[in-house]
Structure 1
């Protein structure tokens, strides 16, 4: 990730790094479709989209993934005490939060961070906002980061960006298949259904051969699968931030944000004690609190909390 992307080379490097066990397959698939990367000038909003021949994105959109991803991950340190106490005591999350005298101030700071990240959508260029002093600027050099925590977040954000490009890559494949089969525009799959299909394909592409990577690199399947699942969950939160409020309940062009979150945050049959459920629970609590939603839920496990929150968002 960088402020000066290098088009196709940069994107392929990112995708191959996110799913290295599929690197050769991915390159072959890319060449078969013969499409190109176009780097668009940065402007207000965010741009990442596909046509029949191109994937188009702006450098500022990558900066947004980075800034919002690093900011949103602070939800873990903010909401984890309440989530842990809620599970241990059986108290509702709202009740646990109300007893923490310092929580309101800490949450205000968290919301301020996310507000700074979202302000990036309101300007033409990244240089127009005041970048938080404790969040590194986007870089391709993982080793240049100053802590293990920053490097771990780098990995998650990189996979989240790769997910977004894979989603767009699937759109390109759909258009190519339609052209091959001479499918008329009026006979296409509805746009909102295609969005869900592209989400599902991108997620499965990242997850389905995690076991092969784990075996070749001396990791357990669970270690690799939960890291990638966490990154996809982070991508879902960033997509939520990029989706206009008016589209949250769905439209002809997009599924509801609740449906997308439920599709992307599925856990891949990870066990109840996987850190994935705990970390994802914190991210979802953050979304609910940002929307001013009540959290009067009592669940016995982190997994149950995630499933409950997802059901409430749909």
Structure 2
């Protein structure tokens, strides 16, 4: 199924300041993006077409709502207890905290479960996650806010694949696959962030709020990649950079000033996803604030 127009609309909603530029680069012809009925995560550029599976889009969607539950689970204890007393195992002794963590873990597990199920039909969709078909009809403020972040995540991953296509079209693909992946990450990040200030100013919005929101969405995209990548390949892949390197680049794009809530929110997401993936996170004395902590968690995302 050709879904090129839907992806164009996605970019128009997420990065409207770049939409005309992107159209000039990428074109407006049919079959630039095709939705394929494939029983696995699929998102790739082949033969001048981005191929994506419905399964992949659903996994990204659920990851966004899991990220919101991660924020609900960890932002309060992180804000209440001094960082030097960081002890999530002790926090979990509280029934209310344990319940919030369990809610996050259930949605995290659903990201994996739908992949193992191999299709959308017959999958036990989580009751507290709206279906993608609801889209702009979502009225709950928190779920609508999460929908916005998922759209940003989607625009970022499609932008990454567009860059692959531009390399292919222009016959200037880097010699090494890993270098091409880095270049595509950089290009996608640039597309999403480079003109934020001009866009925000033109609309009377805070540039730091717009930039922070977009980075949060991109982090969700990276957390989805981490969740779906076998841990033994996190830093031992021949064709992709280490997951910590890719996430580090996104975190580094969060130039100051950032909103007061930004780094504790990011830390909450990273902490939840890392712990559920089996990464033990400890406090170290060099961590002085939540920005430091976010980078510290990022550095721990290793294969072993």
Name the TM-score, length of structure 1 as normaliser.
0.87
Q: Residues 60 and 126 of structure 1 are in contact (CA less than 8 Å); yes or no, is this contact kept in structure 2?
A: yes
**Separation in 1, partners of 2:126, 2:212:** 29
Secondary structure of 1:269's match? Answer: coil
**Separation in 1, partners of 2:169, 2:83:** 54
Name the TM-score, length of structure 2 as normaliser.
0.90
User: What is the match of residue 230 of structure 1?
Assistant: 216
User: What is the match of residue 22 of structure 1?
Assistant: 18
Distance 1:228 1:125, change over 3 A: same
From 287, 296, 303, the equivalent of 1:308 is 296
**Separation in 1, partners of 2:278, 2:91:** 14
In the alignment of these two chains, the number of paired residues is 300
User: What is the match of residue 192 of structure 1?
Assistant: 178
User: What is the match of residue 123 of structure 2?
Assistant: 129
User: What is the match of residue 191 of structure 2?
Assistant: 205
Secondary structure of 2:85's match? Answer: coil
Q: Residues 94 and 296 of structure 1 are in contact (CA less than 8 Å); yes or no, is this contact kept in structure 2?
A: no
**Separation in 2, partners of 1:231, 1:263:** 14
Residues 42-95 of structure 1 show CA distances to partners (whole Å, capped at 9, x for unaligned) of: 31x211100241111112211221122112220001011221134x46312447
**Separation in 2, partners of 1:89, 1:56:** 44
User: What is the match of residue 243 of structure 1?
Assistant: 229
From 51, 67, 91, the equivalent of 1:72 is 67
**Separation in 2, partners of 1:216, 1:199:** 27
* Aligned-residue offset at 1:211: 0.9
* Aligned-residue offset at 1:24: 0.9
Distance 1:89 1:15, change over 3 A: closer
Q: Residues 226 and 274 of structure 1 are in contact (CA less than 8 Å); yes or no, is this contact kept in structure 2?
A: no
What CA RMSD, in Å, does the superposition of the two structures yield over aligned residues? 2.3
* Aligned-residue offset at 1:160: 0.2
4+ long deviations beyond 3 Å: 32-35, 93-96, 98-106
User: What is the match of residue 145 of structure 1?
Assistant: 138
Alignment gaps of 5+ in structure 2: none
User: What is the match of residue 46 of structure 1?
Assistant: 41
Secondary structure of 1:56's match? Answer: strand
Alignment gaps of 5+ in structure 1: none
**Separation in 1, partners of 2:281, 2:260:** 23
